[in-house]
Structure 1
Amino acid sequence: MKTYHQKPSEVQRDWLLVDAENQVLGRLATQIATLLRGKHKPTFTPSLDGGDFVVVINAEKIKIMGRKADQKVYYRHTGYPGGIKATPYKMMLAKHPDRILRIAVKGMLPKNRMGRHLMGKLRIYAGSKHPHVAQQPKVWTPR
C-alpha cells in the first residue's frame, strides 16, 4: 500500500469561525494550530499547507487558569542594546487582546516559512463582529 500525498491542486480549504468566549488560552491555541495546519483532515501532508482559514471572535473574553493573570509577562526586544520590553498580561489584554492568542498560536506552529504562511490564514477579532461574512464561515466548537 502506498502512502498518500496530497497535491496542492487537491486542497479543499474552508473558513471556520471559532468563538473564544470562556475558552482556556492554551487549549484553544492548540486546536486553532491544528486547524491551520490541516491535521484534522484525513488528507494531512506535513510538507503541504492543507489547512483551513480560521476566524476567531471574542478574543477579549478568553480565560487563563491559576494565577497567570497576575504573573504572566510578554517580552519583546526592540533590536537595540538594552531594548527588552516587558508587558504584563493584564495590560496586554486591555490594549491588544488579539495579540495574546496570536502569540500562543504562533508558538505552536512550525518555525519556518510554512509557519509564517499559516499565520496569514488566522484572523483574530477582539469583539463579536468580523468582516468575513461573505466567506460563509462554518461555526466550529472547540472540544
Structure 2
Amino acid sequence: MKTIDARKLDIKREWYVIDATGKNLGRLATLIANILRGKHKPYFQPDVDVGDFVIVLNADKITVTGKKLTDKEYKWHTNRPGGLNVRTLQWMLEHKPEEVIRLAVERMLPKNKLQKRFMKRLKVYTGSEHKHQAQNPKNLEELKALWKNF
C-alpha cells in the first residue's frame, strides 16, 4: 500500500461555521485550531497546510469557568518606558470579543511559518451574521466525530 502524500493531493478546503454561544473558550479554541490545521483529515501531515476555513459567530457569548473573567490577563508591551498594557478577560470580552477567540486559537497553534496561514483562515464575528455565504459553509455540528469533548 502506498503512503498518501498531502503535497500531491488536490487539497479541497471546506468552510465551517461554529456558533460560540455558551461554548467554553478553551475547548472551542482547541477545536478550531485542529480544524485550521486539518487534523480531522485522513491525509494530515504536520508540515503541510491541509486545513479548512472556520467562521465563528457570537464571539461575545462564550463562557469561561472559575474566576478567569477577573484573573486572566492579556499583557503586551509597547516597547516604550512604562508601556506595559494589561487587560482582564472581562474587559476584553466587553471591548474586543473577537480578539479573545483569535488569541486563544493563535496560542494553540504551532509557532512556525504555517501559523500565519492558519490564522488567515479564521473569521470571527460578534453577531450571528457573516459575509461568507457564497462559500456555502457547513454547520460544524454535522461532524459529530470532532465533538468528543466539546
The answer to whether the superposition gives a TM-score over 0.5 is yes
Do the aligned residues in 2 keep the contact of 1:8 with 1:48 (CA within 8 Å)? Answer: no
For residue 6 of structure 1, what is the aligned residue in structure 2? 6
SS in 2 for 1:10: coil
Q: Which runs of 5+ in 1 are unaligned?
A: none
Name the TM-score, length of structure 2 as normaliser. 0.90
Alignment partner, residue 28 of structure 1: 28
TM superposition shift of 1:3: 3.3
The letter of the residue matching 1:14 is: E
What corresponds to 2:97 in structure 1? Answer: 97
Unaligned runs of 5+ in 2: none
CA offset at residue 4 of structure 1? 2.4
Give the alignment of 1:74-113 within 5 angstroms: 74-113=74-113
Alignment check: 8 A CA contact 1:22 1:63 kept:
yes
2:124 is the alignment partner of 1:124: yes
Amino acid of the residue matched to residue 130 of structure 1?
H
TM-score by length of 1: 0.94
Count of aligned pairs: 143
Q: Distance in 2 between matches of 1:93 and 1:54?
A: 20
SS in structure 2 at match of 1:102: helix
Paired residue for 2:133?
Answer: 133
1:67-120 deviations in Å (ceiling 9; x for gaps): 111211111111223311001111111110000010000001111220111100
**Identity rate of aligned residues, in percent?**
45
